[in-house]
C-alpha cells in the first residue's frame, strides 16, 4: 500500500517537473557566488533594522512583554517558543499576531499580517531570540495539541488538481529528489523553524514562513490557505515542531 502511494506521488511530481531535471543544478555557479556574498551581507538585515525602529516607536519592549505576561528579560526565551498559547489572546498565536494584538492594545490601527509593518517588526522581534534554539512545546496544553493535530492534517491532506499534499514533496521518503531544478528540501536540515523570515534571492525580498508556505501552495496548485487562519497557524505549529531545536538565525537567506 505504502509503496503504491509513493509511486503515485512520484508520477504526480514527474508531471510537474520538466524534462532533463537531472542535468540541471539547483543553483548556478553565479547564484552560488551571490549566495556566499549575501551570507556576509544579508539584504534583509535592513528590513530587520527598520522593523526595530517601527517596533520601538509603535510598541516597545516594556508594553510588549507586559501584554505577553512575561518579564522583559525573559522575552528572548519566550519568543523562541512560538507559535504558543498567549493568555491575553486565549489561543495559539504566531509572533506576527502578537504584534497585531499589541498595536490594538495601544489604540493603533492594526496592520494586516501581509503588511510591511508586521513583516518587518515580526522579523525584528524574532531576531531577539537569535542564537537560542526553537523551543515550541506542542504538548503544553489542549489548545497546542489541537493545533498540532490540525497542522499535521493540513500538511498531509492531498488537495488541488494534482492531488498533492505538503507531504508529497517534504516526506522523509522523497526529500533529496529533484523537482524541476530544485532538490526537495528536508525542512529540518534547512532549519525551517529558525530561519524565517528570510531573504529569498529568487524573490529579491524578505519572506515570512507562512508566506513561504503559500508560495509552495501556489507552485503545487493548491488553493492558498489565508494568513492567520487556524489552518495556517496549525501548519506553522506543525512545521516548527518538525524542525524543533534548530538555532534561530534571523534573517535567514534562501534560494
Ligand atoms: C510540488 C512539491 C512541493 C509541495 C507540494 C510543497 N513544497 Fe514546500 N518546497 C518545495 C521545494 C522544491 C522547495 C525548495 C525550493 C527552493 O529551493 O527554493 C520547498 C521549500 C519549502 C520550505 C522552505 C524550506 C527552507 O526553510 O528552506 C517550506 C517551509 C515548505 N516548502 C513548506 C511547504 C508546505 C507547508 C507545503 C504544503 C502547503 C509545501 N511546502 C508543499 C516543494 C514543494
Same domain, 175 and 190: yes
Ligand 1 center–CA 131 separation, angstroms: 24
Residues in contact with 4: Cβ distance below 8 Å, sequence separation at least 6, in sequence order = none
Expressed as residue numbers, the domain containing 34 is: 2-41+137-254
**Protein residue closest via CA to atom 32 of ligand 1:** 213
- What pLDDT, on the 0 to 100 scale, is given for residue 188? 67
The 10s digit of each residue's pLDDT in 57-81 is 999 999 999 999 999 999 999 999 9
Ligand 1 pocket: which of 27, 150, 159, 185 to mutate (most atoms within 8 A of CB): 185
What confidence category does residue 177 fall into, taking pLDDT thresholds of 50, 70 and 90?
A: low
Hey, how many other C-beta atoms are within 10 angstroms of the C-beta on 252? 23
- What pLDDT, on the 0 to 100 scale, is given for residue 9? 60
CATH number of the domain at 116, please.
1.10.760
- What pLDDT, on the 0 to 100 scale, is given for residue 190? 74
What confidence category does residue 21 fall into, taking pLDDT thresholds of 50, 70 and 90?
A: very low
200 touches ligand 1 (CB under 6 Å): no
84 touches ligand 1 (CB under 6 Å): no
Same domain, 71 and 177: no
> Is there a domain that residue 132 lies in?
no
187 touches ligand 1 (CB under 6 Å): yes
Question: Average per-residue pLDDT in the chain?
Answer: 88
Amino acid at each position: 500500500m505504502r509503496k503504491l502511494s509513493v509511486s503515485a506521488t512520484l508520477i504526480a511530481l514527474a508531471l510537474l517537473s520538466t524534462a532533463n531535471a537531472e542535468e540541471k543544478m539547483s543553483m548556478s555557479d553565479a547564484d552560488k557566488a551571490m549566495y556566499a556574498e549575501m551570507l556576509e551581507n544579508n539584504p534583509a538585515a535592513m528590513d530587520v533594522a527598520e522593523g526595530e525602529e517601527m517596533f520601538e516607536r509603535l510598541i516597545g519592549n516594556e508594553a510588549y512583554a507586559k501584554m505577553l505576561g512575561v518579564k522583559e528579560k525573559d522575552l528572548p526565551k519566550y519568543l523562541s517558543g512560538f507559535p504558543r498559547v498567549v493568555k491575553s489572546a486565549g489561543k495559539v498565536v504566531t509572533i506576527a499576531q502578537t504584534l497585531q494584538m499589541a498595536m490594538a492594545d495601544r489604540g493603533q490601527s492594526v496592520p494586516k499580517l501581509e503588511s510591511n509593518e508586521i513583516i518587518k517588526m515580526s522579523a525584528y522581534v524574532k531576531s531577539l531570540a537569535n542564537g537560542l534554539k526553537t523551543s515550541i512545546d506542542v504538548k503544553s496544553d489542549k489548545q497546542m495539541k489541537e493545533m498540532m493535530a490540525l497542522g499535521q492534517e493540513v500538511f498531509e491532506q492531498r488537495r488541488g488538481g494534482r492531488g498533492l499534499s505538503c507531504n508529497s514533496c517534504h516526506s522523509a521518503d522523497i526529500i533529496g529528489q529533484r523537482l524541476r531544478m530544485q532538490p526537495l528540501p528536508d525542512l529540518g536540515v534547512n532549519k525551517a523553524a529558525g530561519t524565517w523570515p528570510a531573504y529569498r534571492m529568487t524573490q529579491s525580498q524578505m519572506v515570512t514562513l507562512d508566506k513561504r508556505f503559500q508560495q509552495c501552495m501556489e507552485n503545487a496548485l493548491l488553493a492558498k490557505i489565508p494568513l492567520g487562519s487556524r489552518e495556517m497557524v496549525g501548519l506553522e505549529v506543525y512545521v516548527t515542531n518538525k524542525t524543533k531545536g534548530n538555532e534561530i538565525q534571523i534573517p535567514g537567506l534562501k534560494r
